[in-house]
Amino acid sequence: MNIEPYLEKHKNALISELSEFIQKPLPEEVRCVEVMVFRESMPGIPFRVFFLNRFKDTAKTIESFEPLSSVGVLVDSPDYISREEAICKCLDMDEEPEQDLCMDFVTEKYNSENQRLCQWFSECWDEAGGKNYQYHAFVVEEDGQFNPLNLKTGTHIKHMHEYVKVFDG
């Protein structure tokens, strides 16, 4: 299923929310904004924004939040099959080779979808004025399936040093 129409549908709402967020000062302890993409959350909202301190721990003086929480569901289609449901369908297959092929397809499909979600978030961040954001900001995938995406540049970092150097501990 193509999720692009649903991303387009919610694009302006995300840009508006991010624009408002980017204007707000953060507590002094915040060293980095980390947007986590949770692969099991679709079709709901797969993003959560965390605030990290210099030790890469969650900052104590500010709560994480879920952008687009007022939307509730990012892909509001009965045709959308969640990753968990797709895996269950693979496991219901009788033959192990079929299961393996199905699991490979599911892994590739949902990894690709997560990459697209990260890119979409980055595009919205950019349109919201995020390139000039005063803090380090990255999109990461919960299972580390790809290198963090630097929200200021819109590109995946090549070496983890670019991400790690933000922190002291």
Q: Is residue 137 part of a domain?
A: yes
Q: Is a pLDDT exceeding 70 seen at residue 69?
A: yes
Q: Is residue 30 part of a domain?
A: yes
Look at residue 165 in the predicted model and tell me its pLDDT: 83
Q: Rounded mean pLDDT of the chain?
A: 92
Whose CA is closest to 50, among 37, 61, 60, 65?
Answer: 65
Look at residue 166 in the predicted model and tell me its pLDDT: 84
d(CA 140, CA 114): 10
Q: Grade residue 167 by pLDDT with cuts at 50, 70 and 90.
A: confident
Q: Is residue 76 part of a domain?
A: yes
Q: Is residue 17 part of a domain?
A: yes
Torsion of CA 49, 55, 61, 65, to 10 degrees: 10
Torsion of CA 77, 83, 85, 89, to 10 degrees: 120
Structure tokens at 106: 């599911």
Q: Is residue 36 part of a domain?
A: yes
Look at residue 169 in the predicted model and tell me its pLDDT: 56
Structure tokens at 119: 């890119």
> Tell me: the pLDDT tens digits for 86-117?
999 999 999 999 999 999 999 999 999 999 99
Q: Is a pLDDT exceeding 60 seen at residue 48?
A: yes
Q: Is a pLDDT exceeding 80 seen at residue 168?
A: no
Which residue range forms the structural domain that includes residue 133? 4-80+118-164
Q: Is a pLDDT exceeding 80 seen at residue 24?
A: yes
Quote the number of domains for the chain: 1
